[in-house]
Amino acid sequence: MSVLVTVGSTRFDELLEAVMSEEVCKALRKQGYKHLILQYGNSDAKPIRIFGDTEHFHAHGLDIEAWKFKPSLRYNIEQADLVISHAGSGTILEVLRMGKPLVVVPNASLLHNHQEELAVALSNLGHLKMTTLSGLADALATWNATPLAPFPSFDGTNFSKLLDEEMGLL
C-alpha cells in the first residue's frame, strides 16, 4: 500500500519533517503502508537529498520516492491508498473528487492561516481528516477507526443557478 504526501508549490518543511519522523513512519507501517511518495515542492526538508528530479531511498522501514514537481499529480493520487496533504483548496478538491482518503495538515505559516477554514469545514462534514503536525502520528494510528463521508460529485448547474438568481433572471 502507498501514501502520497504533497505540499503543493509552497514550502512546508514542517509537514515533510513530520512525515519522515520515526513516529509517523511507524504509524504508517502499522496500517500496512510500505511505499511513501513525497512531493516536496520548494521545501528544503531533510533527510530528503535531491540528486536530479527523483530520488528513491529506504528509511524507517518504508520505500520512499521523493520529487519536487510533476506536471500533474493525477496518476500519483490515483495510485495512492492514502493522501496526506497541506490544506490547499486545489489539492483537497482534486483528491476528494477522485474518491481518495485524505488527511490534511493546514500550513499555519501561510497568510491568515487560510487553509484551516476549508480543512475544518470539510472535516466537520466528514470528507477528510484534519490534524496538526504534532497530532499526525496519532491521526494515522487511528486512521481506519473513522470512515470518511463520500465527497459529492461536481454539479456545474449550481453555479449557473446562483448566477441567474443574483442577476435577477430567476
Maximum C-alpha span of the chain: 61
DSSP secondary structure string for all residues of 14-34: HHHHHHTSHHHHHHHHHTT--
C-beta neighbour count of 110 within 10 angstroms: 16
Q: What is the pTM of this model?
A: 0.86
Position 51 scores a pLDDT of 44
Q: What is the CATH number of the domain that holds 51?
A: 3.40.50.2000
How many structural domains is the chain composed of?
Answer: 1
Position 41 scores a pLDDT of 87
pLDDT per position as a tens digit, 123-167: 999 999 999 999 999 999 987 756 788 888 877 777 777 778 888
Q: Cα dihedral sign for 27, 30, 36, 39?
A: negative
Domain that includes residue 75, residue range: 2-166
The span from the CA of 24 to the CA of 155, in Å, is 37
C-alpha cell at 152: 459529492
Residue with cell string 522501514: 61
Low-confidence ranges of the chain (pLDDT < 50): 50-52
Position 95 scores a pLDDT of 95
Position 145 scores a pLDDT of 57
Q: E strand or H helix at 159, and its extent?
A: helix 157-166
